[in-house]
Chain A
Amino acid sequence: MTEDNHKLIEVKQLRKYFPIRMGTFGTSKKVVKAVDDVSFYINRGETFGLVGESGSGKTTTGRLILRAYEATFGEAIYNLPGKEPFDVLKLDKKELKDFRKHAQMIFQDPYSSLNPRMTVRDIIAEPLVATQSAAGDELTRRISDTAKLCQLSIEHLRRYPHAFSGGQRQRIGIARALVLRPDFIVCDEAVSALDVSIQAQILNLLKDLQTELNLTYLFIAHDLSVVEHICDRVGVMYLGRIVEMAKTDELFYNPIHPYSEALMSAIPAAEPDIVMKPIMLSGEIPSPIDPPSGCTFHPRCKYAKEICSTSVPEWKEEIPGHFAACHFAHELKLKGFAA
């Protein structure tokens, strides 16, 4: 069994550039490099975390690999069980329709991601109806099975989204994503808008569903504690580029990219006795319209040398399974999360 059989998705050199018009009368044409040469892979059955701050490109990446946006360049190869590998970015309309049965998304905002004029039953039914996967009794059965998996009762099916709390609405969104029994789900900030106690319920639910239904997750989030809890492997993004990727423990305790080091040092430990010593990054996250030259992180990096401003660092596997894009990844001694 080769290494590749373990990979459900392999993303190569993914780019998404948004053209924008600026200046008087929209005369100046510029480009926002929202995702700029991103490569990573997700193994079957795992939860892969994608973290980063504002403008990192993590949400756009999630949408690109589901073909919710059209990529500017690159590949996203899927190895679905029982199918030949295919590049989702090259599928035609008909093939895409079938693809949707295998890959779905859960959104951040439980209030705007559900149609307020549809009953819960109709919301969960929609993917089945749209793909003509079931009808009549079969449809009803599949809806109620899925609702039960998400701890929604039969009574809930008759009601409208506004009758439910944030956590319950998120369960409805999860049920809708699950009803086609996909192999892969993108969770885009799926718990960020929830209260802590509800967040715990939903995280536990997602974990249980993964085991029960053999799911693979791409978990996009900005809360590093949540990511550390639920993810097996994590990728860190900064200004449209992926800067580090490793197993969760490796990343948190042994980061090899200076930006990851800064992130780990900024996580507020829920422990009053620990005095945080966050690495203060100077300045702010630059605009993606005019990113810095060379390594986009160099203006804020305390380890930066001249080469960092002139040459884009290569995305390399520095240690087996541990990737980074930094000219000095192999020699810097960085600190991980300390607690």
Chain B
Amino acid sequence: MELAAEELIRINQLKVKFPLDEGTVQALDGIDMSIKKGKVLGVVGESGCGKSITARSILRIIPAPGKIDEGEILLRTKIGSPDGKEYVIDLAKIDPESELLRQIRWGEVSMIFQEPMTSFSSYHTLGDQISEAIMVHKDITKKDAIALAIKMLERVGIPNAATRVKQYPHEFSGGMRQRAMIAMALICNPSLLIADEPTTSLDVTIQAQMLELMRDLRKDFGSSVLFITHNMGVIAQIADEVCVMYLGSIVEKGLVSEIFHNPKHPYTVDLLQAIPKISGSKKKRLVAIEGNVPSPFEKPGGCPFHPRCTRMIKGVCEVQVPMPTDFGNGHTAQCHLFHQ
């Protein structure tokens, strides 16, 4: 199992399926993803593209009855290392109930969600919850853990932290809860922070504060970030590299400037033209992608995007899954247009 020197996590050909009564949904259909140390990888896509499932696969918290049926999730870590040195483990092969994975969750890889209340128990004070998170991973007393929690809450911009640490989550506003969630996610200094639509339900000025906070914290903590969102504006501001997903596949990936200025895949091109961009008098009609995202039970054959693609090649796109084309500098796209 090999990781390049600058890689923290590499996902190889990951497949996740949900065997449901109505049929099987292939939520992830063989995705390849690489998260570099200290960098932000943005994952963008619409409903049903699989971006959330990707995040949950890494932490092995895919909701039942979903399961990984193929592929690797390679992580560089010291946790569970036989000799205390860094090694590479395959998260896809570890028992999700194991002590090793419990140590990795929040110790090495943590997550923040769209709804801050998902992370918190309403029955416990913030102090109790954050100190518990620390004590699972570090051998310290509760008193010391609370002191660390207070420091962290201050660091994420929550005023009067010493008082607030004794409060319950419902006593915090949405923006404050989001900050508290970030505090809890970073307290054990994980090497990867997964952010699943963290700013989607926030007001725009609070969102700006949140993005600023995350940029700031990255400088201090040096963690990599997997940032999942459907908002291209936020991606442009925060990501170093981008993966564009559609119906369980990564259709294009590359550096953020490449994706925005030189998009190759028709879905990426169309998506960029469908977003309203502030343009004053130079306003153009939005280019809408016709049709709807297909039901996951009725996944199109061949390239999943072909029924809505304006440049579909008859006889090819409906039947063959396209192979990735490499445009250099880490920029790849899966489309028959480039593979003639």
A residues with a Cβ closer than 8 A to B are 53-54, 165-168, 195-201, 203-204, 207, 222, 224-226, 228-230, 249, 252-253, 262-263, 265-274, 276, 278, 280-281, 284-285, 337, 339
CB-defined contacts of B290 to chain A, threshold 8 Å? 201
- Write the chain A residue with the least CB distance to B234: A268
Q: How far is the CA of A324 from the CA of B247 in the complex (A)?
A: 46
Q: What A residues does B167 contact at CB under 8 A?
A: none
If over half of B's interface residues share one DSSP class (helix, strand or loop), that class is named, otherwise mixed; here it is helix
Please report the C-alpha to C-alpha distance between residue A239 and residue B175 in the assembled complex, in whole angstroms: 17
Bound-complex Cα distance A207 to B278 (A): 17
CA distance A267 to B274 in the complex (A): 17
B56 to nearest A CB, angstroms?
Answer: 20
With both chains docked as a complex, state the minimum distance between the C-beta of B217 and any C-beta of chain A, in angstroms.
Answer: 15
User: For the complex, what is the distance from the CA of A339 to the CA of B260, rounded to whole Å?
Assistant: 15
| Contact count band on B | 35 or more
- Which single residue of chain B is at the shortest CB-CB distance from A273? B257
Instruction: Give Cα A184 to B26, complex, Å.
Output: 45
CA distance A207 to B280 in the complex (A): 17
Tell me if A284 and B256 are in contact (CB < 8 A).
no
**Residue B174 CB within 8 A of the other chain:** yes
Contact status of A204 and B205, CB under 8 A, knowing A168-B292, A197-B270, A268-B231: no
B174, B256, B272, B280 — most chain A CB neighbours (10 Å): B280
Total cross-chain contacts (CB, 8 A): 133
Quick one: which of B162-208 are within 8 Å of A by CB?
A: 173-176, 203-208
A224 to B204, Cβ gap below 8 A?
Answer: yes
Known: A268-B231, A268-B233, A276-B237. A262 touches B205 (CB 8 A): yes
B291 → chain A closest CB, angstroms: 9
Give B259's nearest chain A residue, CB to CB: A272
Q: Hey, what's the 0/1 contact readout for B249-262 against A, CB within 8 Å counting as 1?
A: 00000001100100
CA distance A262 to B260 in the complex (A): 26
- A207 contact set on B, CB distance < 8 A: 285
Residues of A contacting B204 in the complex (Cβ-Cβ under 8 angstroms): 53, 222, 224, 263, 266-267
Is B4 in the interface zone, CB < 8 Å from A? no
Query: Which single member of A204, A225, A230, A266 contacts B277 (CB below 8 Å)?
Result: A225
State A222–B287 Cα separation when bound (angstroms).
22
Q: Is B230 an interface residue (CB 8 A)?
A: yes
Shortest C-beta distance, A53 to chain B (Å), equals 4
Q: Given that A165-B293, A249-B280, A268-B237 are contacting pairs, would A197 and B288 also be in contact in the complex, using a CB cutoff of 8 Å?
A: yes
Is the beta-carbon distance between A200 and B287 smaller than 8 angstroms? yes
A280 B271 Cβ-Cβ under 8 A: no
In the complex, residue of chain A having the shortest beta-carbon distance to the beta carbon of B308 = A197
Tell me whether A252 and B46 are in contact (CB under 8 A). Answer: no
Residues from 128 to 175 in B contacting A, C-beta threshold 8 Å: 173-175
What is the distance, in angstroms, from A6's C-beta to the closest C-beta of chain B?
22
Given A200-B287, A204-B285, A263-B204, A165:B292 Cβ within 8 A: yes
Q: Which of A166, A252, A272 contacts B280 (CB 8 A)?
A: A252
Are A195 and B47 in contact, CB atoms less than 8 angstroms apart?
A: yes
Once the chains bind, are A269 and B233 in contact (CB under 8 Å)? yes
Q: Which residues of B contact A225 (CB under 8 A)?
A: 233, 275-278
Known A195-B230, A229-B283; judge A271-B236 contact (CB<8 A): yes
Q: Which residues of B contact A54 (CB under 8 A)?
A: 174, 203
- Whether A195 contacts B278 in the complex (CB less than 8 A), given A268-B234, A269-B237, comes out as no
Interface assignment of B100: CB less than 8 Å from any CB of chain A: no
A265 and chain B: residue at smallest CB distance? B208
- Chain A residues with Cβ below 8 Å from B281 are 249
Q: Is B212's CB within 8 Å of the partner chain A? A: yes
Cβ–Cβ contact B288 & A200, under 8 A = yes
**B232–A270 contact, CB under 8 A?**
yes
Q: Which of B206, B239, B275, B286 has the most CB of A within 10 A?
A: B286
Closest-CB distance, A58 to chain B (whole angstroms) = 12
Q: How far is the CA of A197 from the CA of B46 in the complex (A)?
A: 8
Q: B209 within 8 Å of A by Cβ?
A: yes
Closest 8 CB pairs of A and B: A268-B233, A229-B276, A53-B203, A278-B208, A266-B208, A200-B274, A200-B288, A195-B46
**A201–B288 CB distance below 8 A:** yes
Contact pick for B236, options A195, A201, A252, A270, CB 8 Å: A270
Give A25 Cβ to nearest chain B Cβ, in Å: 21
Alpha-carbon distance A224/B205, docked complex (angstroms): 11
Report chain B residues within 8 Å CB of A278. Answer: 205, 208-209, 212
Question: Contact check: which of A204, A273, A280 meets B286 at CB < 8 Å?
Answer: A204
**Which B-chain residue is minimally distant from A167 (CB atoms)?**
B292
Q: A229-B286, A272-B257 are in contact. Are A267 and B293 (CB under 8 A)?
A: no
